[in-house]
């Protein structure tokens, strides 16, 4: 399982999922598609009990919920989720199935998760017939 992709799905949703009541929640939920939120809810329902059992994982989740775009906090959460999923292969399989089922569940829509690190990289995705390009931090939508 790709832990980086898992954290990329969860990070913007954690303020909502953990019921962090502040402006972070409002800002984060504005950037989340309904499909992504549904995937994150299903994943979190499985993960939350294990996260609650492990203090470091709980703290990392809270940090990401309060700072969803912070790469350092996301890295700490990746480490904790990796440990949880490596010690619970059945849970890892369940989460992988959730991602696969819900990501391909909508007819005619292709969901692409692409992680790119570096400067001046280009990411191209297709969302319901609209191409979205991000170059140098600026977004361009081609219809």
Number of domains in the chain: 1
Task: Find how far residue 90's CA is from the centre of its chain.
Answer: 20
Q: What is the pLDDT of residue 93?
A: 95
124, part of any domain: no
Contacts of 34 by beta carbon, 8 Å cutoff, 6+ apart: none
Q: Is residue 64 part of a domain?
A: yes
Assigned domain for 118 exists: no
The verdict on residue 63 lying in a domain is yes
Look up the domain containing 93 and give its range: 3-105
**Whole-number pLDDT of residue 119:** 65
Q: Identify the burial level of 58 via C-beta atoms within 10 angstroms of its C-beta, where 0-12 means exposed, 13-18 middle and 19 or more buried.
A: middle
Structure confidence at residue 112 (pLDDT): 53
In a domain, 45, yes or no: yes
Per-residue pLDDT band at 1 (split at 50, 70, 90): confident
Tell me whether residue 110 is in a domain: no
Residue 11 belongs to a domain: yes
Per-residue pLDDT tens over the stretch 28-74: 556 678 888 889 999 999 999 999 999 999 999 999 999 999 999 99
Q: Is 46 inside any structural domain?
A: yes
Q: What is the DSSP string of 55-77?
A: HHHHHHHHHHHHSTT-HHHHHHH
Sheet strands (E) in the chain = 122-127, 130-135, 138-142
- How far does the chain reach from its first CA to its final CA, in angstroms? 34
* pLDDT grade for 92, boundaries at 50, 70 and 90: very high
pTM of structure: 0.66
Residue-wise pLDDT for 104-142, tens only, equals: 654 434 445 555 666 666 665 545 444 444 444 554 555
């Amino acid at each position: 399982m790709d832990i980086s992709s898992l954290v990329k799905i969860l990070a913007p949703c954690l303020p909502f999922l953990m019921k962090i009541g502040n402006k972070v929640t409002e800002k984060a939920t504005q950037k989340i598609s309904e499909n992504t939120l549904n995937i994150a809810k299903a994943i979190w329902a499985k993960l939350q009990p294990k996260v609650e059992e492990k203090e470091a994982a709980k703290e990392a989740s809270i940090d990401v919920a309060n700072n969803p775009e912070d790469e350092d906090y996301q890295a700490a959460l990746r480490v904790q989720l990796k440990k949880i999923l490596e010690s619970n292969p059945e849970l890892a399989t369940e989460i992988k199935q959730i991602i696969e089922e819900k990501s391909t569940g909508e007819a005619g829509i292709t969901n692409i998760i692409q992680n790119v690190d570096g400067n001046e990289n280009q990411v191209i995705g297709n969302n319901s017939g609209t191409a979205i390009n991000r170059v140098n931090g600026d977004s361009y939508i081609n219809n």
